[in-house]
Amino acid sequence: MGLYDAAKDAANILKEAGKINEYQKILDLIDDLFNKREEIEKLKAENNQLKEEAKIKEEYIFKNNCYWHKESNDGPFCSRCFDKEKHLIRIIPRRPGSNNAKCPECKSLVNYTGINESVVFRPI
């Protein structure tokens, strides 16, 4: 028998015995149990989210104005979206061969190669 069931049984016994004050206290206790259960579930979800964010933060490094996966070098991911909202949003090069990429979510523009695009190499 769980705590809720025990409190419910006690409330019924008190109600039948005419102990209204005690019955009300048990009802308040049951209400408090529901509130605590909701709070625990909320904290569990928040804890899981924080664990996931910490795991992601351990797996990714900041390099050339964006985030990259440490082992697979997967990326680039938007640093603004990751730092502010912990979302891994892949940034897209503006054109083939470009050093600049744009985030489709927040529209940030970053140089993800670390190479200045104004330097143009021309064959001699």
The answer to whether the CB of 58 falls within 8 A of the CB of 83 is no
- Cβ contacts of 30 within 8 Å, gap of 6 or more: 4, 7, 8, 11
Whether a cis peptide bond, with omega within 30° of 0, leads into 104 is no
Domain locations in the chain as residue ranges: 3-53, 64-111
pLDDT, position 120: 52
Cα pseudo-dihedral 104, 105, 106, 112, rounded to 10: -50
DSSP-assigned letter for residue 62: E
Give the pLDDT confidence of 34-93 residue by residue, as tens digits: 899 899 999 999 999 888 888 878 899 998 889 999 989 888 999 999 988 888 899 998
Token pair of 13 as six digits: 């016994």
Mean pLDDT on 12-22: 76
Average pLDDT over residues 9-23: 76
